[in-house]
Amino acid sequence: MRFAELGSGAKALRLGHIGIAVVELGSLTYVWYCALSGRRNRLLGAAVATLSVQGAALVIGRGNCPLGPLQKRLGDPGPLFELVLPPRAAKAVIPVFFAVALGGVAILALHRRR
């Protein structure tokens, strides 16, 4: 469904959802930057906390974004990732991002032990 066709609540939720996705992708990128560069700071803590909150939300949503039902209720039927990816790839995004996030955090933990 095109953005112009959505109601105001669905538009607001979609924009908020996109904002959340941008922050989470930035957090994932920063975790990997720190994992590869050895940098440690407060921003890294915030990035890991952001990814942890997202992980908890996915557990609550049983592997799906917990905003999905609200999104549908507001008249926006398509998952956020299907706006930019084909349906099959969009379904794979969550497990792939989870594995990538876990990998970055694991590297951080291994570097910390040294």
Residues contacting 68, CB < 8 A, separation 6+:
61, 79
pTM comes to 0.86
Q: What angle do CA 8, 12, 18 make, to 5 degrees?
A: 145
Whether the CB-CB separation of 3 and 80 falls below 8 Å is answered with: no
Give Cα 58 distance to the centre of its chain: 9
How would you write the pLDDT of the chain (114 residues) with one tens digit per residue?
A: 788 899 999 999 999 999 999 999 999 999 999 999 999 999 999 999 999 999 999 888 888 888 888 999 999 988 888 888 998 998 898 889 999 999 999 999 998 766
